[in-house]
Amino acid sequence: MSHPQEEFREFVKISAASLHRTAYLLCGDWHLANDLVQEALAKTFRNWQRVQRADSPDAYVRRILINESNRYWRRRPNRAAQLDAAQHEPITPDSSDEIVDRSELLRALLSLPARQRATVVLRYLEGLSEQETAAVLQCSEGTVKSQSFRALNTLKTFFEREELPI
């Protein structure tokens, strides 16, 4: 096995779980998240030399993943409509209130515009700084701040309404 291939495999081993989590919160479906991560990693493999030369290979790959997710939503507007309809369905209480709350939060997250959703996931799931988030999304730190502010405002109403148990 060639040296770059070994490095690629090592990179996949380290970052796959984190990419998978990010993908899930971007699309709300574990199976779709699998596909998005596989495709993003295939594109990473194709451009592996360029990825290695990048200032932050991790940011580069996250950008590929977010672009893949956005492309998916653009190609399948029906899926977005289904999701939209699902958001208005009444939630049946489950055996655990916590599960209902998670589902509610996920819906609230998925109802955010794509950029705000990506900002929330990178900042509050992956714990990236504003600077790192801006590097992934290829925008200014000011944009990250404003997107976070708007997203938090939307989600804050959810927290206040639901008083989500943590």
Binding interface with another protein (CB under 8 A): 5, 8-9, 12, 16-17, 20-21, 24-25, 30, 34, 37-39, 41-46, 48, 102, 105-106, 109, 120-121, 124-125, 127, 152, 155-156, 159, 164, 166
Q: Which is nearer to another protein, 78 or 160 (CB)?
A: 160
Nearest to 105 by CA among 62, 47, 165: 165
Q: CB of 20: closest distance to another protein in angstroms?
A: 4
Cβ-Cβ contacts under 8 Å for 64 (sequence gap 6 or more)? 40, 43, 44
Q: CB of 46: closest distance to another protein in angstroms?
A: 5
Dist. CA 140–CA 131, nearest whole Å: 8
> Which tokens sit at 47?
């451009």
Given a contact cutoff of 8 angstroms between Cβ atoms, the answer to whether 82 and 145 are in contact is: no
Dist. CA 26–CA 28, nearest whole Å: 6
Q: CB of 125: closest distance to another protein in angstroms?
A: 4
Q: Report the amino acid identity of residue 81.
A: A
Q: Which is nearer to another protein, 13 or 78 (CB)?
A: 13
Q: Which is nearer to another protein, 81 or 161 (CB)?
A: 161
